[in-house]
Structure formats: C-alpha cells, structure tokens
Homo-oligomer: A and B are copies of this chain.
Amino acid sequence: MILRIDRLQTELPPPSDPDPDGAAAVQELMGGRFGELSTLMNYTFQSFNFRGRQGARPFYDLIANIAAEEYGHIELVAATINTMLTGASDSPNGDGSLEAALSGVKSARNAQQFLAGGQGALPQDSNGRPWNGDYVFSSGDLVEDLTHNFFLETGARNNKLKVYEMAPHPAARALTGYLLCRGGVHQVAYARAIEKLTGADLTKMFPTPRIPTEKIPECRPHIERGDHKRLYRFSPQDYKEIVAVFNGPHPETGEELEVVDEAPEGALPNDLPPQPAVFAPDYAPEEIGEIAARLRSSAGLPKEPTGRVANEGTGLVDKVKEKLT
C-alpha cells in the first residue's frame, strides 16, 4: 500500500502562455507506450507478481522502489499538461454566457483535452489514443523483466528528448529536464541489475540515445545537485536492499552511485486557476468555495485551507484570471 504526499518531486513554473499543441505532445510522456504510465505500471505489476521474493530480495526491492518513484512522474506530467493548457480557453462573457469560449482551440491537436477533460491531462498518447494494458510486460522471469525495463527506459529517454525538442514551453522544459535526469538513474539501475545477474556490462551502452544528458541545459541543475547518481528510497521502512544492486560507478560520469535513505523533499504544486469555460471545477467556482468554507468551519478546521500550494498568497490565480479577461 502507499502513503501519498501532496508535493511534486520537482518544481514546475506557474502558467504562462498557453500551448495546447505542446500539451498534446507532452501526452506522449503520459500515455504513450514509453510514457510514465507505462513505467509506473510495468514496475508496479512486476513487483506485485514477483515470486520467490525473499530469495531475490535486492531485485524485488529495486523494482518495487522505482515503481514508487514513477507515481511522482505521472503526477509531474499531469501538472505540466495542466499548466500548459491554463488560459487556453476564453473566460465566459461578462453576462456569464458561454459563447464561443473554446473556438480558439477548435484546431488544437487533442480536442478531448477540452471536450472530455477540463483542460487537463488524459491517459492518452500524443496521437490522442488511450494508454492500455498491453504496454505492461510482466513475464515473471527476472532477467527478462529487467531486460525489458532497460529497454523501456531507453525508449522513454528517446521520447523525453524529442518532446524536449518539440515543446519549448517552460513547463515542458522543466519537466523533461527533470525526467531525463531521473529516468537516466533508472536506466542505470536496471543495467546494473542485469550485470549483477548475468555479468553482461550494459553500461557501455550509455548514453542511449547517444546525446549526453549534460548537453541538455535543463538537466544541468539536477546533475549539479547530484540527482543523476542517486536512488531515493520511497518508503518509510521497506526496500532497504536496493543498496545491494545500485552501486558502482555511474556510466557517464564515473562518480559512485548513491542510495538516499528517504524520498526527496520535492516542491509544492501550483494551485492552477479555474477554467470556467470547461466547468473546471465549476461554471461558477465561487459557489464551491463558499460551500467548502462552510464545511471546513463545521468540521472545526481552520479558516484557511490546511493544504499548501506553491502560489498561495502570491495571487497567481487572480493574476492569471486577470490576464485572461
């Protein structure tokens, strides 16, 4: 089971110019065959289906623990897409009528981000097709599952690099810069696991694709902080045997790989402003605000929300609202 923490693994910028076609491209990192839903679900199912786990504990722990990190990745991709779509619809007219508030996105590549979703992320790829369970490989054969995972991370790195090139929006850049760094760690982890089991030295294949991670400016801060060589343990008590696999030199830099015995601190998410044209969270969100305040008060909660967001007090929501009207 899991505990959930209401923070993102890295900081994302607040909404700026909306970029619907960029957001449609970022969907590949969500619901594509090599998207974060795939990494999450592959490692999750592999850990669920792991037989004889006591006898192979370091490998079980490795897969289970990386699965936990991946949850934070789908969260980041979703936050990025939402950020890029903020402001893409018009606000309703002064008289409250809807009018043609979505006609500006009539030719946007992924119409369902608006029609099915509320200017938000969908479990779809960059061609608007849903993620599906056929993308999960969980054969039970440990060497084979690890081989798959190494290949999956390679494909994921390819896709992140290309989305980086396709969507220069600040949120997409912050996302891909971070994911390239962290995905690289997983690629190393699986290579190392295969080496431990078979002797085959896959680290010679790094970087693959052959562009060094450090050439990506948005990766550099993460590399400088050391995040390219660290595996975090995403659990209060468990998965302690990852150290038995994740060690030795980093294939690109030669630095010693490290296990960090807790989750990263992360960053507060932005509270993205309502988009009334798509009824998110409502056509008239103020009413919900009033009800929520009343409920909070009846329950003896403080007047202000107890949850924290990055942009509280900064008036970001109001500023974005203002800009869009």
Contact = CB atoms under 8 A, between A and B. Distances in A.
Kindly name the residue among A48, A71, A89, A158 whose own CB sees the greatest number of chain B CB atoms within 10 A.
A48
Contacts of A234: 1-4
Nearest to A296: B244
A37 B57 CA distance: 26
A285 to B, nearest CB: 5
Interface in A130-154: 130-134, 136-144, 147-148, 150-151, 154
12 contacts: A33-B134, A44-B74, A45-B121, A55-B281, A57-B305, A58-B292, A97-B215, A103-B165, A118-B139, A122-B136, A144-B279, A198-B205
A147 B205 contact: yes
Contacts of A56: 281, 285, 288-289, 292
Range for the number of chain A residues in contact with chain B: 35 or more
A1 B7 CA distance: 6
B215 A98 contact: yes
Nearest 9 A-B pairs (CB), nearest first?
A118-B140, A140-B280, A123-B133, A130-B133, A49-B120, A1-B72, A127-B128, A48-B78, A102-B166
Contact of A127 (B110, B151, B266): B110
